[in-house]
Structure 1
Amino acid sequence: MTAITTRPLSDSSDSLLRFAMRADATLCAGAGLFVAMAADPLSRLSGLTATSEWIAGAALVLYGAALYVLAAMPSVRGVGIGVVAANLVFAVAAVAVVVSDVLPLTGAGVAMVVATVAVGLGFAYCQYLGVRRLA
């Protein structure tokens, strides 16, 4: 017979942070796969090239995989702070790109970027709450 030597997930103080990081990783990787597979139709919709759509999708898959691995680290507080900061930096950079009109985005492309920023900020908020719970 084996014994369980770890605390149940519900008793751990880092469960919210780990859950938010894993949910962020899963959604990023899934969205990245979708964007990479549908790069050509999405490029016509967003105004970007199919290559840039594919690169963005691949980057999302890599980020999701890395984030999922980082969520399993024994001490997750520092990683959580870094992920919150990265999500905030991404949101600011994406809004700056849309506002400055650097990319030839269509109306649908702008809507996709804004939706991505909103989801990223939602995950950043959940991760922030998880980091605060650890303090």
Structure 2
Amino acid sequence: MQGIANALKWIMLVSGLLTCTMFYAAIDPQGALRQTFGTTLEGPLANIVVRNWGVLITLVGVLLIYGAYRPASRPLVLVVAIVSKLAFVGLVLVYGQAYLGTAGLAVGFDLVVVGLFIAALLHMRKAPLQR
């Protein structure tokens, strides 16, 4: 766990930058849906919901980048990211198993990141805050 704690800044930066790539959904909602799930939703409401989804995911990525440079904010940022990523994973596993072929990479990435973030939080409970 000490290795994760030492690399946490870089883990947060890389995962934050990769998470920010979902801003693509705010620009091209149909393209993002096709890339992530292999299909699209039609209509103006779909465009609103998917664009909003892309912005919210991007905000989690921005928080991760911010937290990488602000150790005092890391526990809150990590909890927000964990909840957001587990919500996505849970929804795909419960309601979207048909999309695991295309969304599987995102699900796998989020599960790995969640595991690293949980390990980091557990380590933070035992160690004083590193500045």
Normalization by structure 1: what TM-score?
0.61
What corresponds to 1:57 in structure 2?
54
Q: Secondary structure at the match of 2:15?
A: helix
- Structure (1 or 2) with the larger CA radius of gyration: 1
The 5 Å alignment of 1:15-54 reads 15-30=6-21, 32-43=22-33, 45-47=39-41, 49-54=46-51
Letter in 2 for 1:17: L
Letter in 2 for 1:24: S
Count of residue correspondences = 116
Kept in 2, the 8 Å contact 1:29–1:61? The answer is: yes
For the Cα contact (< 8 Å) 1:16–1:127, is it kept in 2? no
**Residues 111 and 50 of structure 1: is their aligned pair in 2 closer, same or farther, counting only changes over 3 Å?**
farther
What is the deviation of 1:124?
A: 1.7
Give, as a single letter, the amino acid of the residue that structure 2 aligns with 1:90: S
How big is each residue's C-alpha offset from its partner over 1:61-98, in whole Å with a ceiling of 9 and x where there is no partner?
2221122112211446xx24x44444443344334434
**Structure with the higher fraction of residues in helix conformation:** 2
* Alpha-carbon distance change, 58 to 131 in structure 1, aligned in 2, over 3 angstroms: same
TM-score normalised by structure 2 residue count: 0.63
Pair 1:46–1:112, CA change in 2 (3 A):
farther
Q: 1:126 aligns with which of 110, 116, 131?
A: 116
Provide the identity percentage: 16
Q: What SS does the aligned partner of 2:54 have?
A: helix
Structure 1 gaps, min length 5? 1-11
Give the RMSD, CA atoms, in angstroms: 3.3
Matches of 2:108 and 2:4, distance apart in 1? 26
Deviation at 1:22, TM superposition (A): 1.2
